[in-house]
A = this chain, B = another copy of it.
């Protein structure tokens, strides 16, 4: 494997580590724990599960890998704060959607080489990308990995 693909694989491994840590943590937290606000007045665990599913779902078109799988959850978990929407999907449904989205992303990631990771993502114009080539697919993966780690830190407080 050449050096640039090896480095890209290192970054993808960092994503996988966080996805696995999140899956394990969510399998250990009870529904009662996930229905609680992490801190009084802040997000509940269930909201963060839906939020992660929606943010990762949005990565699919952002990275040019196809269409959203679950557009119905975007309004609830991206455009609305927690507790603004009644009648959320069940925790099991949201966990399952998060797993499905991650599986779809991971299937694509397994086929991507460094040159593909350095392509532009779909929220930057071709003109801007010429001037700002760091706005590539790899930067999306890095920022979403950190976003996931950020919310895992919060979910850990429910234990």
Q: Is A42 part of the binding interface, using a Cβ–Cβ cutoff of 8 Å?
A: yes
Residues of B within 8 A of A118 (CB): 3, 6-7
Q: For residue A138, which residue of chain B has the nearest CB?
A: B10
Q: Mark A1-35, 1 if CB is under 8 A from B, else 0.
A: 00110111111011001100000000000000000
Interface size class of A (residues with CB under 8 A): 35 or more
| Interface residues in A112-143 (C-beta closer than 8 Å to B) | 114-115, 117-118, 133-134, 136, 138-139, 142-143
Tell whether A14 pairs with B143 under 8 Å between CB atoms, given A153-B150, A154-B153.
yes
Q: Within the assembled complex, what's the spacing in Å between the Cα atoms of A6 and B147?
A: 22
Interface residues of A (CB under 8 A from B): 3-4, 6-11, 13-14, 17-18, 38-39, 42, 114-115, 117-118, 133-134, 136, 138-139, 142-143, 145-147, 149-154, 156-157
Residue of A4, A133, A153 ringed by the most chain B CB atoms within 10 A: A153
Tell whether A114 pairs with B150 under 8 Å between CB atoms, given A14-B143, A134-B13, A139-B13.
no
Which of B9, B17, B139 contacts A10, CB < 8 Å?
B139
Q: From DSSP, what is the main secondary structure of chain A's interface residues? A: helix
Which of B3, B9, B146, B151 contacts A4, CB < 8 Å?
B3
Which of B9, B146, B151 contacts A18, CB < 8 Å?
B146
Q: Within the assembled complex, what's the spacing in Å between the Cα atoms of A146 and B20?
A: 13
Question: Can you name 21 A-B pairs with beta carbons within 8 Å?
Answer: A3-B115, A4-B7, A6-B133, A6-B134, A7-B11, A7-B118, A7-B138, A10-B11, A10-B134, A10-B139, A10-B142, A14-B146, A17-B143, A38-B157, A39-B157, A42-B157, A149-B149, A150-B153, A150-B156, A151-B153, A154-B154
